[in-house]
Structure 1
């Protein structure tokens, strides 16, 4: 049986389960159904990840089981990558009957350390569930480097060994997720930029009546998907509101301060973009690398806002404060992704 056939068959399970996980990941203020992940459109003639990975049917099937288990449990896709990379290191994605001392299974978990019986740990679904249950109890695991998060669960004698599998695990999980109805990123311009929403400009940059307005407001409807304007790393994904007790899980008002739920992306070369007033917690986490067009969250009205819209900023020189802000309309137009389109 070809690896491709194994992956397609197994992915049917992930497809249904990923939708459950997606609803959990995007939950909040009536918004659900997106996972914060999209995969780049395939390049013509480019091989798929499994075909070029050197994995056989058993290894690909085990990776898919790990991902499917994470989807069923509602674990964000970052957790799937951590789990698959861990199994790559511990067992080369093989369901081993033994190992060091009493270690068994995909994750080389030990019955003597409270993971379960040897028979249970030879069940890939049980072993993956046990891994995820411990992972999600690690405070801040989504913001940790992969090797740190994996080590917090595994307590390996070789704590740095997991890092070398991150790229391969990410490619494999992205392929599995793509088969599981994770959306393809939208087309981007030749310079790598895309408008974060398609909506008219309803308030400009540093206007006469709003000289402290460091971005532009795009009048998209509540629930509209907000996309990364370019590839980058998430450096903020938090609630910023004053007074703090107002919170971000309800609409703000002109009397409330702050960006509400918002995300900042670092695109390199000192360029930072900001996305404010989301309807719920961002779909991405700090430290996550996202492609252009990746879902970041949904349009809302949290924080200093009088109605649903996206407040979008562009900053240069690595300065995320007012002195680094530049007019977004000019910047995006110069980079092939004009704003204000309807």
Structure 2
């Protein structure tokens, strides 16, 4: 005697596969959210001993101006041509971004009054651990480091330029704790730049030495 074996309607199999896929995707989303929550809620570690992002022993003007952005710092050399001067890592870390922020524009040493771009132009971002990071904007050319690269304090990561939305060659620099910009500290002391409500400048000497 022959028995009829039923394996279910094809639609039921498709429905089961779809349900299984939904469960897998839901678990993936829940896991990603849990990881993100841990990262965001984890308190920042102690402030690294950041140094000026310029050569050892050099004195630079640091400052801000109305509309620049709270805590943002611009660096201008007090001696020599600013174009192409070395930009150094403020502290040990891992490069997380090395590329273009916005658009480059066309300001170069040969054409300093060329059209501006947008945003930060060539830039680098470094993760220093403990949810601390630094950012370096308006570089002259593609960064000298790559994403994922480990850099040491004082290692050159680029050169001063005027790419992006920049009026003159300089370095725009930021320190961030978690997701927030904070007052920059150099060699264990605050820079004094906390607001862009008024123009402010100071002269600081770099201790970013080997």
TM-score by length of 1: 0.36
2:72 aligns to what?
A: 215
Are 1:340 and 2:180 counterparts? Answer: no
More helix by share: 1
2:123 aligns to what?
A: 262
- Residues 36-66 of structure 1: CA distance to partner in whole angstroms, max 9, x if unpaired? xxxxxxxxxxxxxxxxxxxxxxxxxxxxxxx
Are 1:224 and 2:85 counterparts? Answer: yes
Change (3 A) 1:213 1:255: farther
Q: Is the 8 A contact 1:283 1:295 kept in 2?
A: yes
Secondary structure, aligned partner of 1:340: strand
Are 1:309 and 2:166 counterparts? Answer: no
1:326 aligns to what?
A: 182
Q: Is the 8 A contact 1:252 1:301 kept in 2?
A: no
| In structure 1, C-alpha distance between the alignment counterparts of 2:87 and 2:125, rounded to whole Å | 12
Change (3 A) 1:337 1:217: closer
| In structure 2, C-alpha distance between the alignment counterparts of 1:239 and 1:315, rounded to whole Å | 19
Report matched runs for 1:43-58 at 5 Å.
none
More strand by share: 2
2:61 aligns to what?
A: 201
| In structure 1, C-alpha distance between the alignment counterparts of 2:107 and 2:133, rounded to whole Å | 23
| In structure 1, C-alpha distance between the alignment counterparts of 2:100 and 2:107, rounded to whole Å | 6
**Root-mean-square deviation (Å):** 3.0
| In structure 2, C-alpha distance between the alignment counterparts of 1:301 and 1:193, rounded to whole Å | 24
Larger Rg: 2
* Ranges in structure 1 where 5+ consecutive residues have no aligned partner: 1-190
TM-score by length of 2: 0.57
